[in-house]
Amino acid sequence: MIEGLSHLTFVVQDIARTARLFAQVLDAREVYDSGPQGFSLAPEKFLLIGDLWIALMQGESLAERSYRHVAFKIDEADFDACAARIAAAGVDFRPPRPRVDGEGRSLYFHDFDNHLFELHTGTLDQRLARYASA
């Protein structure tokens, strides 16, 4: 049976550039670099963001952007610092979408390959409680 999330893989044109972005904005730590050779379909790097295994694999960027995204949990106290890190990274920093009070705040940015990421201060329990109170 399912035990949890194993890893997330992002196909990117420039693995090194994306690894630097993830380190700068998401505190990612590199744990593996295949170099030009490797065991997979293409060169890859493995990163850890907290305990989450992220795989970056060499390939073509997404052709278009969408709202499909990965959201990382951040503490409310870190919101402004995270916003500053995203702004300094030189990526497309999106304005937060309107939210109802009590469901947390979010920061959105696209990486260089059209993947959308969210940094969110809320939890599922907070959101469900807020929706139930409406």
**Residues taking part in catalysis:** 44
Q: What does the DSSP assignment read for 61-113?
A: PPSS--S-EEEEE--GGGHHHHHHHHHHHTSEEEPPPP--TTS--EEEEE-TT
Angle at alpha carbon of residue 86, lines to 58 and 9, rounded to 5°: 25
In sign, the C-alpha dihedral spanning 67, 72, 76, 79 is negative
Question: Which pairing describes strands 52-58 and 106-110: parallel, antiparallel, or unpaired?
Answer: unpaired
- Helix, coil or strand: residue 11: strand
